[in-house]
A and B are shown apart, each in its own frame.
Chain A
Amino acid sequence: MSEVQEDLITEEIRSLIGVEWPPVVYEVERTGIRMWARAVGIEDPVFHDEAEARRRGFERLPAPPGFLGVPRVLPGQPEPGPPIRGLNPRLQRSLNGGTEVELCAPILAGDELVATSRIVEVKQRAGRVGPMLIITRETAFRRGQATVARVRATVINY
Chain B
Amino acid sequence: MEQGQVYGEDVEPGQEIPEVVKRVTPRQLVMWAAASGDFYEIHYDADYARSVGLPGIVVHGALKHAFLGDLLHRWVAPGGRVVSFGCSYRELDRPGELRCRGRVRGVRREGTEHLVELEVWVEDAQGRVTTPGSAVVALPSRSGAEA
Q: Which residues of A pack against B, CB within 8 Å?
A: 32, 35-36, 38-44, 46, 56, 64-67, 70-71, 93, 95-103, 106, 129, 152, 154
Contact = CB atoms under 8 A, between A and B. Distances in A.
A141 B32 CA distance: 22
B144 interface: no
B34 A35 contact: yes
A39 B32 contact: yes
B1 interface: yes
Interface string B9-46: 00000000000001000001001101111000000000
B7 interface: no
A36 B72 contact: no
Dominant secondary structure at the A interface: mixed
B82 interface: yes
B77 interface: yes
Contacts of A103: 81-84
B56 interface: no
A46 B72 contact: no
A98 B88 contact: yes
